[in-house]
Amino acid sequence: MIGRLFRSRTRRLDKELGQGLWRRAHDRYVRGLDRYHQVLEGIADDAVHNDLVLLGDRLAEQLETVRELCGEAHRAHPGEGMLIPGDAADLHAGLSQAANHLATTAEAVAMVRLGAAERTAVHRRSERVFETLASAEAARVGR
């Protein structure tokens, strides 16, 4: 059953985002979210854990925006390659940077988990995710 659901989701994403540039941008964000939540599981302090869960929920809410932006870009520039169309360079840069910042946010969670950082570091890094996604939205293809 799970395999069938996974294949169905994969086919839907293939249709919506293709298998090239825009699908990879989407998937990088998803991997960052997965890492964030995996690392979060090991935090013992309930207050810190709950705070970072709420932040993780806000980051997860942005996935719909990422998917929408990637879908629009794929419809405007369909293809399976990795070449970035000129009029979509700023959009791709914003999506790429958001995924990178999400990965560093997950790293900050790991540092909190190890006791080597405070949760304010996680919040600071997450703000970069939100900022770069706002930049990506401003650079929407077709605006």
Inter-residue contact 57 to 113 (CB < 8 Å): no
* pLDDT greater than 90 at residue 38: yes
Length of the chain: 143
Sequence ranges of the domains in the chain: 2-138
pLDDT band at 18 (very low <50, low <70, confident <90, very high): confident
**What letter does residue 116 receive in the DSSP assignment?**
S
The predicted model scores a pTM of 0.90
pLDDT digits (tens, 9 = 90+) for 54-112: 999 999 999 999 999 999 999 999 877 888 988 999 999 999 999 999 999 999 999 99
The pLDDT value given to residue 15:
74
